Structure 1
């Protein structure tokens, strides 16, 4: 089944000036006049049903979708800004450009230098890697967004919340994990504090770690953590010690990349 038929359904929505990765594959969102919804189970089904479809996956922090076609003589014009990890089916590619299929049946152009062409969204970044190397990929992907303002509910490179950053950086490294912090803390491999390795997830809960989980970050090695803290702040690298404001709310560590 073509990707567009599988994940896009018509809905009343106004044209927006950007489209996020969650709008296309990872969750609810809007592109043009198309409203979509997706969860982890649906995404896995997409992976299965599009196994033979070549996808252009945005690997730059963002990429502009251009109006035009490969055969046009005029210069392609920027149209929509796409988020990191946005994936669209490839129609054809040549030189600087790759032509991609859009949900409504039309097409657009992306720069080859800003995408990776692959037949799966998941797994490509670590297809030949495992163990500690995979964890470090997660950390390095997260560091690309240092300074990006926090966005509540954000799961794209236009803004992340704490668990959205964790979810997306694992996705970039080839791992599909739960979207929300409380659910992320229930799965994966439990890790003792003294065994922390880059790529592990650090969870924080109210009542000095005994209450409800409300925050998650990625252990970056060297006693540091990369995370998206809260509204008004940006993705940052902090020391995971008593100087960190939530240090005494630490409650658990989970590892998904092992």
Structure 2
């Protein structure tokens, strides 16, 4: 059975059990983003291996089972080697609601391109915070707003926060410009949202806002793109790095900016930054250059 995410965002938990970070999240309404989490909170996600990914408002999931306030799900738009249909994991049941016909993901989509945006509902006096990377079906467009179909009904998003998702010849430049707004944004393990990204989550979200659905994690990102040499690399390509001087397991990814530089969400405890490849620890670990645009 398919359901849709009604929380502004939710982590995709590895196991259906309570933990200290989830206790904090549960103190806040589900229409808030996770900006209230501290650096110590988000570090626990990594150190205790609690989560694998994140889902955003309007994401459709396949629910395999529900018990004791948890739903075992497959995130259908996050490709993964862990399951043929998408990314498996667990979501609190209250973050999901019934899927309606209005949530048609095959029609024109609108994506949030600012760190966060505001969805104003039209049938009642309410609003929902939306994260960067959130996508919703477009119903109609005015000079100032997009009207979209959301889990809670029709709503409007001001165009200063969002754009239509459509193919464009300037895809690499658009992705790089979107990434630049997150310079110094703290790293969040498993994050794909404006509240914080892990390395592959940032690449996933940048491509998703161009209508390009790449795999969620680094290993799969290295496997499924068009492979080119570093000498052939163009801005917008993914640079993937592996242990054992590039011969081992892929563990990190950044987006090539040109001129021997990349932008990336570096490591737990670090931030989104620009790095020059030559002379860095990444030079010897460069394993794959993958192009998806």
Give the TM-score normalised by structure 1. Answer: 0.72
Return the alpha-carbon distance in structure 1 between the equivalents of residues 221 and 115 of structure 2: 24
Q: Which has the higher helix share?
A: 1
- Contact 1:21 1:83 (C-alpha < 8 Å) held by counterparts: no
Are 2:230 and 1:193 equivalent residues in the alignment? yes
Change (3 A) 1:34 1:80: farther
The 3-state SS of whatever aligns with 1:208 is helix
Are 2:244 and 1:204 equivalent residues in the alignment? no
1:95 Cα offset (Å): 6.4
The 3-state SS of whatever aligns with 2:174 is helix
1:179 counterpart residue number: 216
Are 2:189 and 1:152 equivalent residues in the alignment? yes
2:117 pairs with one of 63, 70, 95: 63
Return the alpha-carbon distance in structure 1 between the equivalents of residues 160 and 75 of structure 2: 28
Are 2:173 and 1:110 equivalent residues in the alignment? no
1:39 Cα offset (Å): 2.6
1:227 pairs with one of 264, 274, 285: 264
- Contact 1:21 1:84 (C-alpha < 8 Å) held by counterparts: no
1:64 Cα offset (Å): 2.0
1:59 Cα offset (Å): 2.7
Are 2:284 and 1:248 equivalent residues in the alignment? yes
2:58 counterpart residue number: 24
- Contact 1:125 1:172 (C-alpha < 8 Å) held by counterparts: no
Are 2:124 and 1:87 equivalent residues in the alignment? no
Alignment of 1:212-223 (within 5 A): 212-223=249-260
Change (3 A) 1:9 1:175: closer
- Contact 2:204 2:214 (C-alpha < 8 Å) held by counterparts: yes
Return the alpha-carbon distance in structure 1 between the equivalents of residues 175 and 228 of structure 2: 17
2:48 counterpart residue number: none
The 3-state SS of whatever aligns with 1:248 is coil
Return the alpha-carbon distance in structure 1 between the equivalents of residues 149 and 266 of structure 2: 36
The 3-state SS of whatever aligns with 1:141 is helix
